[in-house]
A = this chain, B = another copy of it.
Amino acid sequence: MLGAAAGGRQGGGGIHRFGEDAVGVVVSLKDGHEPSRAAFDRLSGLVGDDLKAVNQLILQHMQSSVEMIPRLASHIIAAGGKRLRPMLTLAAARLCGYEGERHVGLAASVEFIHTATLLHDDVVDESVLRRGAASANAVFGNKASVLVGDFLFARAFELMVADGSLEVLRILSRASSVIAEGEVMQLATANDTETTETAYLEVIRSKTAELFAAACAIGAVVAARPKAEQEALYGYGLNLGIAFQLIDDVLDYSASQATLGKTIGDDFREGKITLPVVLAFRRGDEAERAFWRRTLEEQEQAEDDLERAIALMETHGALKDSVGRARHYGAIAHDALGIFRGGTFKDSLNDIVDFCIERAF
Rounded to whole Å, the gap between the CB of A292 and the closest CB of chain B is: 22
Q: A144 CA to B146 CA in the complex, in Å?
A: 12
Are B184 and A144 in touch, CB under 8 angstroms? yes
Interface of A is mostly: helix
Q: A67 CA to B146 CA in the complex, in Å?
A: 23
Residue among A120, A146, A153 with the highest chain B CB neighbour number at 10 A: A146
A61 to B, closest residue via Cβ: B177
Q: Which of B120, B148, B161 contacts A147 (CB 8 A)?
A: B120
A1 on interface, CB distance cutoff 8 Å: no
Interface residues of A in 123-177 (CB under 8 A from B): 123-124, 142-144, 146-151, 153-155, 157-158, 160-161, 164, 166, 169-170, 173-174, 176-177
Which B residues are CB-close (under 8 A) to A179?
150, 154
A20 on interface, CB distance cutoff 8 Å: no
A170 to B, closest residue via Cβ: B161
Are B147 and A187 in touch, CB under 8 angstroms? yes
Rounded to whole Å, the gap between the CB of A312 and the closest CB of chain B is: 28
A78 on interface, CB distance cutoff 8 Å: no
Q: Which of B66, B147, B180, B187 contacts A143 (CB 8 A)?
A: B187
Q: A324 CA to B164 CA in the complex, in Å?
A: 43
Q: A150-B153, A154-B173, A173-B157 are in contact. Are A181 and B64 (CB under 8 A)?
A: yes
Q: A123 CA to B117 CA in the complex, in Å?
A: 16
A188 on interface, CB distance cutoff 8 Å: yes
Q: Which of B120, B155, B174 contacts A177 (CB 8 A)?
A: B155
Are B150 and A161 in touch, CB under 8 angstroms? no
Are B147 and A180 in touch, CB under 8 angstroms? yes
A252 on interface, CB distance cutoff 8 Å: no
Q: Which of B64, B65, B176 contacts A150 (CB 8 A)?
A: B176
Q: A176 CA to B154 CA in the complex, in Å?
A: 6
Rounded to whole Å, the gap between the CB of A178 and the closest CB of chain B is: 8
Q: A120-B147, A146-B120 are in contact. Are A169 and B161 (CB under 8 A)?
A: yes
A206 to B, closest residue via Cβ: B66
Which B residues are CB-close (under 8 A) to A143?
123-124, 187
A318 on interface, CB distance cutoff 8 Å: no
Rounded to whole Å, the gap between the CB of A108 and the closest CB of chain B is: 14
Q: A187 CA to B143 CA in the complex, in Å?
A: 8
Which B residues are CB-close (under 8 A) to A157?
157, 169, 173, 176
Q: Which 10 A-B pairs have the closest CB atoms?
A: A154-B177, A151-B180, A154-B176, A157-B173, A150-B180, A124-B143, A147-B183, A158-B173, A66-B181, A161-B169
